[in-house]
Amino acid sequence: MDGVPSLSADQAGAFRTILNRLARGETLTETEAEDAFGLIMDGGVPDTLIAAFLMALRVRGEKRAELLGAVRAVRSRMRAVGPVPPGTIDVCGTGGDGLGTLNISTAVAFVLAALGVPVAKHGNRALSSRSGATDVLGALGVDLSDDPSVIAARINDGNLAFMAAPAHHPAMRHAGPVRAALGIRTLFNLIGPLCNPAGVTHQLVGVFDPAWLRPVVETLQLLGSERVWAVHGYCEGATGGRGVDELTLAGPTAIVALQNGRIYDLTLRPEDAGLRPAPITAIAGGGAEENAAALTALLAGAHGAYRDTVLLNAAACLHVAGRGAALDDDGRLRPASLRALVADAARVLDDGSALAMLNSARRRHMDTPEGITQSL
């Protein structure tokens, strides 16, 4: 294809050697995975070989070293944003849970910013839901700049910026057609949330499969993160026992937490935060316009399961951002502290501060002649 480089004979041979190793069920080293994903990101690897590579990893089962190498390859090629304030946080999920809920992490971003927490929100178009972060932001009339200096200024001056993944990871386009054709989760679903362009060291990551909770946290720790929660919510009574890539009211949430250089496993129930359980169907979402209307009503003070889910996730993020102590130094949950963080989040929903953050983002859109509507 015009404009797409082809592999040299040595590169093609190296990639096929890696494929042969995977076919034998062997695990790649971090360096080998970084090299392989780097070749894919640089273009020139035929779609058939990309598909074979991703499926070989999926069938055998991806390993942490392979995830780490892949993340290093993508991070080294992304359009970075910075500098941003210390303690800037990202809240995002891997997608892939297939439950089609309302937008949680996008709403949480407005709540956190209203509380003075700098947020560099990384997102994409819909994957597992009908309306991803950039879909609902577009429906809300929020501008997504693709200029790293503009994004950094928004975080530094206004505590909040949204970053559309395609604008910062253009190299990912080389795998896009294969991912779409395969139509299944691959290692790429995990890579994106671990490649925040602003280089945040505080992060809440929702994960589609609890088996990946610890590897995700260990990977981020090796890459310099300071505080991380990787979460997977179990939806009691959901068809097929599916879980969700966020903290949930529908059952217990499994958490792997990093703080003070140590990693802890814990379980959190909505009652721990003083919130009532609710089925996952209570936050069923729709298209971008429908989800945008629900998000606007939430920020304007509407009550219900959507609000309580956002409060639960916002409280967790406040702890991850260093604005609270929901865990003690031994990784044990402090319910009273968690409930205080829920109250902090509720205050900015009730006093209009969170809605003001949305309106400010809308005004920026009105003042900006251009935005981006790209997708992977």
Residue stretches of the annotated binding site for 5-phospho-alpha-D-ribose 1-diphosphate: 93, 96-97, 101, 103-106, 121-129, 133
Enumerate the known binding-site residues for anthranilate.
93, 124, 179
> What type of residue sits at position 226?
E
Element holding 38 (H helix, E strand):
helix 30-41
Is the N-terminal amide bond of 86 cis, ω within 30° of 0?
A: no
| Cα 253 from Cα 233, distance rounded (Å) | 4
| Cα 47 from Cα 49, distance rounded (Å) | 5
**First CA to last CA distance, the chain:** 19
Element holding 229 (H helix, E strand):
strand 227-234
Element holding 123 (H helix, E strand):
strand 119-123
Structure tokens given for 168? 């910062």
Enumerate the known binding-site residues.
93, 96-97, 101, 103-106, 121-129, 133, 179, 245-246
| Cα 328 from Cα 343, distance rounded (Å) | 19
Instruction: Give Dmax over CA atoms of the chain in angstroms.
Output: 63
Enumerate the known binding-site residues for Mg(2+).
105, 245-246
User: Residue 59: how many CB atoms within 10 A of its CB?
Assistant: 11
Residue 290's Cβ-count burial label (10 Å; 0-12, 13-18, 19+) is middle
> What type of residue sits at position 347?
R
Angle at Cα 235 formed by Cα 239 and Cα 287, nearest 5°? Answer: 75
